[in-house]
Amino acid sequence: MALRREPTARQMRLATELRRLREAAGLTARESAALLGVSAPQITHIESALAGVSEKRLRRLASNYSCTDEKLIDALVALATDRTQGWWEEYRGLLPTSFLDLSELEYHASYRWDVDFLHVPGLLQTEDYARALFSRRVPELPQEELELRVHHRMHRRVILEQAEPVPYEVLVHEAALRIKVGGREASRAQLGRILELSEADHVTVRVIPFDLDGFADITAAMVYAGGPAPKLDTVVRDGPHGALLIDSEAQLEVFRTLFRRVKEASLDPSRSRDLIRRLAKEL
Which pLDDT tens digit goes with each residue over 70-117?
999 999 999 999 888 899 999 999 999 999 999 999 999 999 999 999
What is the C-alpha to C-alpha distance for residues 147 and 160, in angstroms, rounded to an integer? 22
The CA distance from 92 to 118, in Å, is 29
Report the alpha-carbon distance of residue 35 to residue 134 in Å, rounded: 51
Please provide the average confidence, as pLDDT, over all residues in the chain: 93
pLDDT of the residue at 132: 96
pLDDT tens sequence across 60-72: 999 999 999 999 9
The whole model's pTM is what?
A: 0.92
Phi, psi dihedral angles at 225 (to 5 degrees): -110, 120
User: Edge-to-edge, what's the strand order for the sheet holding 234-239?
Assistant: 203-208, 168-173, 111-116, 222-226, 234-239, 242-246
Percent of the chain past pLDDT 90, that is, above it, reads: 84
* 168-188 tens-digit pLDDT: 999 999 999 999 999 999 999
Looking at per-residue pLDDT, the higher value among 127 and 85 belongs to: 127
Using the 8-state DSSP alphabet, how is residue 30 labeled? H
pLDDT digits (tens, 9 = 90+) for 151-162: 999 999 999 999
Angle of the 143-155 helix axis to the 127-135 helix axis, nearest 10: 140
In this structure, the strands spanning 168-173 and 111-116 are parallel
Q: By percentage, how much of the chain surpasses pLDDT 70?
A: 95
Q: Which domains does the chain have, with CATH numbers?
A: 9-81 (1.10.260.40), 96-282 (3.30.870)
